[in-house]
Amino acid sequence: MGEIFVSRGCGQVTGDITAPEGTVVVSGRGSVEGKITCQRLEVNGEVRGMCTAGNAEIGATGSVTGGLRYWSLTVQPGGGLCGEISQQDPPSDGAELPEKLVQRKDIRKTSPAVDSGDDSGQ
C-alpha cells in the first residue's frame, strides 16, 4: 500500500490519493480504498475511506463509506454517503461560496409536525 498522486481514478485503487489543488474523479466503474485529499472530488463509483475535499459531489451511482470533510457538498438522488460527515469552514483566501450555497440562504427553517397520537380529528 502506498500513495498515489493522480487526478482521475477509473480502475481499482488501494492507497491514498492526494491532489491538493486538483480534482479527483472516481468514475462509475472505479473504486478507491484509502484516504482521498483534494480540492474537488467527484464520485460516481465507490470510495471506502476518509475523504477531505473543498467541493465534493457524489453522483447518482456514487457512494462514499467512511467519512467526508467538505465545505461544499452535493449528493445527487441515488448517491450514497455513510460515515462521519463534517463541514469545514470555507477557504480563507477570499474565494466566494458556490451559487448553490448562496441561494440556500433563502430557505426558511420550520419546526417538524408533531403527532399527538389523538385520532379524534380535533
pLDDT band at 51 (very low <50, low <70, confident <90, very high): very high
Overall average pLDDT of the 48-72 stretch: 95
How large is the C-alpha radius of gyration of the chain? 18
User: What is the reported pLDDT for 93?
Assistant: 58
Report the chain's mean pLDDT, rounded to a whole number: 77
Q: Of all helices (H) and strands (E), which one includes residue 57?
A: strand 46-58
C-alpha separations of 68 from 4, 57, 109 in Å:
19, 11, 25
Q: pTM, whole model, 2 decimals?
A: 0.68
